[in-house]
Structure 1
Amino acid sequence: MGYLLLAGAIAAEVCATTALKYTDGFSKLLPSLLTVLGYVVSFLLLAQTLRTVSVGTAYAIWSGAGTAVIATIGVFFLGEGMNAAKAAGIALIIVGVVVLNMGGAH
């Protein structure tokens, strides 16, 4: 159940960060509300996750997966460029999260 809550927290954070792109410095109401709501939901779900998943593991997955997904959204949907350094960075984030989980963090 903890990892399902964590997946929800990641999804909410990704939605919030994507909406943040469209807030125009928090001058547009709807994207601003979506951003705030998404981050609130994300932190609430992350807090619930910490009941069953260690903080180091949960935070590494939450931040790493969120970063990798947002970078991917930027490339495929927001017109941001992709180069070898960016691709390597995303790959290293994913590898880092996997290694942390394989290390038996409790």
Structure 2
Amino acid sequence: MAWVLLFLAGLLEVGWAVGLKLSAGFTRLWPSVLTVAAMAASIGLLGLALKSLPVSTAYAVWTGIGAVGTAAFGMLVLGEPATALKIGGVAAIAAGIAMLKIAG
């Protein structure tokens, strides 16, 4: 169950990272409200996952999911450049997340 909570926390991290962009520096009300809510929920779920997962693994996986998800969203939805180097970097992060998950 802790891994599910951690995965959801990572997805919410993607949500708040994208929300920061959409809030235009917290000048748009509803994107700002949703961003802050996603931040709180993400941290809360991370905290729950840390009850049974090692902090070294959980934190790295959480930030990795956020980094991979945010980069993918930027390239696929926001039209950011999808260069070979950027895709390779995202793949390397994803491989690191997988290794950490396997390591436990």
Equivalent residue for 1:74?
Answer: 74
Deviation at 1:88? Answer: 0.8
Give the 4+ runs in structure 1 shifted more than 6 A: none
The answer (yes or no) to whether the contact 2:7–2:65 under 8 Å persists in 1 is no
TM-score (norm: length of structure 1): 0.92
State, as a whole percentage, how many aligned pairs show the same letter: 38
Conserved 8 A contact 2:61-2:100: no
Residue-pair matches, total: 104
| Separation of aligned partners in 1, 2:3 and 2:101 | 12
SS in 2 for 1:21: helix
Question: SS where residue 58 of structure 2 aligns?
Answer: helix
Cα deviation code 1:69-105 (max 9, x no counterpart): 1100001100101111101100110111222333x35
Q: Write out aligned runs for 1:16-55 (5 A).
A: 16-55=16-55
Could you tell me whether the CA contact under 8 Å between 2:11 and 2:69 is conserved in 1?
A: no
What is the match of residue 2 of structure 2? Answer: 2
- Per-residue deviation, 1:13: 1.2
1:56-75 equivalent positions in 2, closer than 5 A:
56-75=56-75
Gaps of 5+ in 1: none
Distance across 1 between alignment mates of 2:5 and 2:98: 18
- Stretches of structure 2 that go unaligned for 5 or more consecutive residues are none
**Equivalent position SS for 2:80:** coil
Q: TM-score, normalised by structure 2?
A: 0.93
Aligned to 2:94: 94
RMSD after superposition: 1.1
Aligned mates of 1:22, 1:99 — CA distance in 2: 32
